[in-house]
Structure 1
Amino acid sequence: MTAHIVVLGAGYSGLVAAKLVARRTGARVTLVNAGDRFVERVRMHQLASGQRLRDLPLTGLLDGTGIEFVVDTVIGIDPAARTVRLAGTSAPLGYDVLIHALGSGADVHSVPGVAEHAYPVADAAQAARLRDRLPLARSVAVVGGGLTGIEAATELAESRPGLAVTLVTGGLLGEALSVRARRHLQRVFRRLGITVRENAPVGEVRPDGVLLPGGEHLPADTVVWTTGFTVPPLAGEAGLAVDTHGRLIVDETLRSVSHPEVYGVGDGTAARMRSGQELRMACATGLPSAAHVARSVADHLAGRPAGPLRFRYLNQCISLGRRDGLVQFVRADDSPVEAVLTGRIAALYKESIVRGTVAVQRRPGLAALSAPR
């Protein structure tokens, strides 16, 4: 009997995994996603600033693959029965192998007031909501000093020169980057007129700004929330082994440590390499991991032992508006070296990488090339 493989989530990792596993196994593959469009999540700061993004229907990206595509929301997993429950139908969806690729979203509940008053940019609906708000805004506080916060602050400041933009971070601006990289960030922020508040963890979001340590009120009529993440609770609710963040725990082949018929990939998976290094949330991780999970599933179905994921980081690419950028080169363990690219050439480099992530969705074999065996 032909195996039935169900893939949950059609983001950067899930779509590639579904297409590659269909190609390599000849199994029946069903892909389930809550929406009918592929979302370029790494461009959400551009969407929020008012830029138009490409329309990418998932049906077009799946043409010719033989994959059954279901637009629905997953509301439950039953590992004992090997079924998935969907919001739009009472009939459970059965599987022989399940690939969990549901990804992550903004954490809007760990700090008071975020859910009620802040504007996250983790998905297209959230970014569009911020875009619609900005024409009324005069001052914006971007909370979060990570790459998403840096990209959001610079994109907003460049696209709306009259907008007062402040970046608020609990640590230092670009603290995970090299000295040269941080210096470039500081120059760009000064050029764009962005105010930076460092070592200022936000304790509460209010309609008129945020509260900082000691009760200081930082006024802003719009608060953009870019810090923290959350994953769907489905894996933990189903009894699958998860970490303290609710991410599926997998072995070095990306197979669940508690349920061997389940595999995980993407932001909702706590993946480690044989060295013990945990992989960060990024396309740079998700695409080669998707290629590897497809190999692992194919090996499992063929009765072959699956090999461990082997992977190394090369760089971190940061857009600083449309005309500037920063490429931070890193060691294999993702720690920064002093080598960087900056300015227009870095912006073009970042744009080519982002375009490449969509090219991989069309030709997933490109992801397989970046995941050595």
Structure 2
Amino acid sequence: MTDTSRPHEIVVLGGGYTGMLAAIRLARRTRRMSGRIRITLVNPSDRFTERLRMHQIAAGTELTDHRIPDLLMGTGVRFRHAAATDIDPATRRIGCADGTELGYDTLVYALGSTTDIDTVPGVAEHAWTLNDPRTAHRMSRRLADLDATGGTVVVCGNGLTGIEAATEIAESHPDLSVTLLGNAEPGAMMGPRARAHLNRALGRLHVVRHCGHRITKVLPDAVCLDDGVVVPAGLTLWTAGVRVPDLAARAGIATDATGAIITDAALRSVSHPEIHAVGDAAAITQPWGRIHGTCQSGMPSAAHVADTIARDLRGKPVRPFRFGYFHQPVSLGRHDAVIQFTHADDTPKRWYLKGRAAVIYKETVSSSPVPTFRLSRRMTVSVSLSRGGRATRAVGRAA
């Protein structure tokens, strides 16, 4: 039997983009259930990290310092400054690094992802990553020292993060030699015109591209490729591949091969429906395929889970999650950018944006989460640019 003498405990694990929105939106959606609901947000740092801007910090830009308790102010959400170390779904308890435990009735798993530093030898020992603002600040100081001697920076991984990092560093440190390494051509996911603009920007900033070869090892002062080429590196930045925390897998919650929680149509765990997973740490599928982790998909998943939990607590039927991609925004330094507009499955449309208009567009996208959090304290805010249209309409009908 349900114990009605105590509040329904909702714990949100993770204070990134998805966890913050889920907690704040859920507080707003359950405000009339005051006293019957208690929401706790758990995060190892009290600083909100703008992951979309880590490359700017690494290149030397100072950003606004946002604190999680300030963003939660007035919502009633409690903040627990701690790192979660384990989950026991049988007893619905969460162990924390400080030796304490938290109980939950409903859990939102929003732990996100980090850069994979274990697959390729030498990465963990010799490469920098953009996982943490403190590391990014240390990297900015290292780049300044390297700049004085005209050294070489190698960015491993030519996905969107690698492209943004390489162009940001090349623009802010023009005396450095910047090389971008990766298996595919930079911007391979874009249409030909957007990709051409991206490559012109890389050329203008003198970014050397070495593509089509796998990285086999990272040394203290070089990167080794599978064709035998050794690329000298005064500093190596690793942006290739991601991994998710192993808490869910260790707890016996159903996960995929990457450790992401497998969800049903409403983003509940298929093995433990009291657990809801969002963002990078959730294995979410749509009729067109698996969603890959981005803020673009993470924020809508967080909003959906908050709404789902609120509906469930009121005894209302839950709805399936529908999502489609809308764009691929890429900054190319502070003065250029390219925006590739996409179909729901993230394949490119004909339309794209470049230059100054794209810079304004990209900045609007990157700066939107914090104002969205603040606005969400007072009203329900739409965070979905696309629900997938015809590509996902069958999901809604099936519900």
TM normalised by structure 1 equals 0.97
Task: Tell me the equivalent position of 1:298.
Answer: 310
- For residues 118 and 305 of structure 1, the distance between their equivalents in structure 2, rounded to whole angstroms, comes to 48
1:277 CA drift (Å)? 2.3
Q: Residue 347 of structure 1 aligns to a residue in which SS?
A: helix
Q: 1:69 to 1:371 in 2, by over 3 A?
A: farther
Q: In structure 1, what residue type is equivalent to 2:141?
A: D
Q: In structure 2, what residue type is equivalent to 1:366?
A: V
Q: Give structure 2 stretches of 5+ with no counterpart.
A: 388-395
Q: Does 1:123 align with 2:132?
A: yes
Map of 1:32-111 to 2, 5 A cutoff? Answer: 32-88=42-98, 90-111=99-120
Aligned residues of 1:5 and 1:96 also touching (Cα < 8 A): yes
1:366 CA drift (Å)? 2.2
Task: Tell me the equivalent position of 1:362.
Answer: 374
1:370 CA drift (Å)? 5.3
Q: Does 1:162 align with 2:167?
A: no
Task: Tell me the equivalent position of 1:5.
Answer: 10
Cα deviation code 1:213-261 (max 9, x no counterpart): 1322111111110011111100000000000000011111010000011
Q: Does 1:264 align with 2:277?
A: yes
Q: Could you tell me which of 183, 196, 203 is aligned with 1:183? A: 196
Q: In structure 2, what residue type is equivalent to 1:44?
A: M
Q: Which moved more, 1:69-78 or 1:362-371?
A: 362-371
- For residues 281 and 367 of structure 1, the distance between their equivalents in structure 2, rounded to whole angstroms, comes to 19
TM normalised by structure 2 equals 0.90
Q: Could you tell me which of 228, 238, 243 is aligned with 1:230? A: 243
Q: Residue 127 of structure 1 aligns to a residue in which SS?
A: helix
1:368 CA drift (Å)? 5.3
1:167 CA drift (Å)? 0.2
1:345 CA drift (Å)? 1.1
Q: In structure 2, what residue type is equivalent to 1:114?
A: V
1:276 CA drift (Å)? 4.9
Q: Does 1:307 align with 2:319?
A: yes
1:135 CA drift (Å)? 1.9
Aligned residues of 1:45 and 1:127 also touching (Cα < 8 A): yes
Task: Tell me the equivalent position of 1:283.
Answer: 295
Sequence identity percentage: 46
- For residues 359 and 384 of structure 2, the distance between their equivalents in structure 1, rounded to whole angstroms, comes to 25
- For residues 133 and 120 of structure 1, the distance between their equivalents in structure 2, rounded to whole angstroms, comes to 13
Q: Could you tell me which of 31, 44, 69 is aligned with 2:41? A: 31
Cα deviation code 1:50-103 (max 9, x no counterpart): 100111011110010011100100000000000100011x33100000000000
Q: State the 4+ residue runs in structure 1 displaced beyond 3 angstroms.
A: 367-373
Aligned residues of 2:213 and 2:227 also touching (Cα < 8 A): no
- For residues 367 and 287 of structure 1, the distance between their equivalents in structure 2, rounded to whole angstroms, comes to 10
1:125 CA drift (Å)? 2.5
1:367 CA drift (Å)? 3.8
Task: Tell me the equivalent position of 2:184.
Answer: 171
1:4 CA drift (Å)? 0.7
Superposed CA RMSD: 1.4
Q: In structure 2, what residue type is equivalent to 1:343?
A: G
Q: Residue 162 of structure 2 aligns to a residue in which SS?
A: helix
Q: Residue 69 of structure 1 aligns to a residue in which SS?
A: strand
Task: Tell me the equivalent position of 1:207.
Answer: 220
1:312 CA drift (Å)? 1.9
- For residues 59 and 175 of structure 1, the distance between their equivalents in structure 2, rounded to whole angstroms, comes to 40
Cα deviation code 1:123-168 (max 9, x no counterpart): 2133123112112321001000100000000000000010000000
- For residues 279 and 138 of structure 2, the distance between their equivalents in structure 1, rounded to whole angstroms, comes to 25
Q: In structure 2, what residue type is equivalent to 1:107?
A: D
1:324 CA drift (Å)? 0.1
Aligned residues of 1:30 and 1:69 also touching (Cα < 8 A): yes
Aligned residues of 1:236 and 1:246 also touching (Cα < 8 A): yes
- For residues 37 and 304 of structure 1, the distance between their equivalents in structure 2, rounded to whole angstroms, comes to 35
Aligned residues of 1:119 and 1:129 also touching (Cα < 8 A): no
> How many residues were matched structurally?
371
Q: In structure 2, what residue type is equivalent to 1:79?
A: P
Q: In structure 1, what residue type is equivalent to 2:233?
A: A
Q: 1:214 to 1:333 in 2, by over 3 A?
A: closer
- For residues 227 and 294 of structure 2, the distance between their equivalents in structure 1, rounded to whole angstroms, comes to 34
Q: Which moved more, 1:258-267 or 1:126-135?
A: 126-135
- For residues 53 and 12 of structure 1, the distance between their equivalents in structure 2, rounded to whole angstroms, comes to 16
